Structure 1
Amino acid sequence: MNSWLDNDFDDMLNTNWMPRVNATAPAINVKENADAYDVELAAPGTTKEDFKVNVDNDGNLIIKMEHKENKKDENKKEHYLRREFSYSNYEQALSLPDDVEKDKIAAKVENGVLHVTLPRTHKAEKETKKIEVA
């Protein structure tokens, strides 16, 4: 049964004026405060074993995620006709600001969110020296 409402929603969702978002890319938030930058990457169902986080030779933060669902079908009376979320693979490179202490970067996974803390350096303000004019 087709209703006018179904057709309107189909038209709205299948238009070229609205760009399609890459469904496999997790959402990323980046926060800043006086002490650190915090990167949050949403990846529900993942564990710390699914992530590799490092800084490359060019000073970029590299986040790699690979997640595989290895669950066996326990109920033999049903099976998948279509299955799209059994494997996820993602890689992102973020340019790090100059004031990040690269050797103190920390990462953890909590409630399906990867948190990467990028501590900022606290360079002492350069002291000014008063010079007497002779």
Structure 2
Amino acid sequence: MSIIRRSNLVFPSLMDEIFKPDWFGGMENSGGTLPAVNIKENEKDYELELAVPGMKKDDFNVEVDNNIMTISAEAETESKVEEENYTRREFSRTSFKRSFTLPETIDEDKIDASYVDGILKFTLPKKDEALPKPKRMISIGK
């Protein structure tokens, strides 16, 4: 799995605003159900998790283009059972596509992804200027 950053302006920004998916993700799938998504905001980053068991990390394609992260996957399986007088072959194809509008506070160049135990997890770090400033004392002059 690799994260690809694209930057091509095809539509004017007004069209982007009208058609952009929301933060919780636009959806498209064929066959099966869409993966469940969890989004958590921490002090320094966001965590986005998708439940997609039974896949391999090479099945996923992730692209970031103009603050929109699109996650898609496609997997095919085949099972074959041979017994006395018959052979049965079953084919299965699963795919989905979800898009998430990233807040402008995300540092897109530092997005990290992992796939462990059926969970596809993204760490979306905040830009330095978006991090909370430490508390400080201000002295009062004359």
TM-score range, shorter chain: 0.5 to 0.7
1:68 aligns to what? 76
Give the strand-richer structure, 1 or 2: 2
Whole-angstrom distance in 1 between the partners of 2:38 and 2:79: 34
For residue 54 of structure 2, give the secondary structure of its aligned residue in structure 1: coil
Q: Contact between 1:24 and 1:88, CA under 8 Å: does it hold in 2?
A: no
Q: Which has the larger radius of gyration?
A: 1
User: Which aligned pairs between 1:23-102 and structure 2 lie closer than 5 A?
Assistant: 23-56=32-65, 58-69=66-77, 71-73=78-80, 75-77=81-83, 79=88, 86-102=92-108
The letter for the 2-side match of 1:113 is I
TM-score by length of 1: 0.66
1:11 aligns to what? none
For residue 98 of structure 1, give the secondary structure of its aligned residue in structure 2: coil
TM-score by length of 2: 0.63
For residue 76 of structure 1, give the secondary structure of its aligned residue in structure 2: strand
* Identity score, percent: 34
What are structure 1's unaligned runs of at least 5 residues?
A: 1-21, 126-131
Task: State the number of aligned residues.
Answer: 106
RMSD of equivalent CA atoms: 3.0
In the TM superposition, structure 1's runs of 4+ consecutive aligned residues that sit over 3 Å from their partners are none
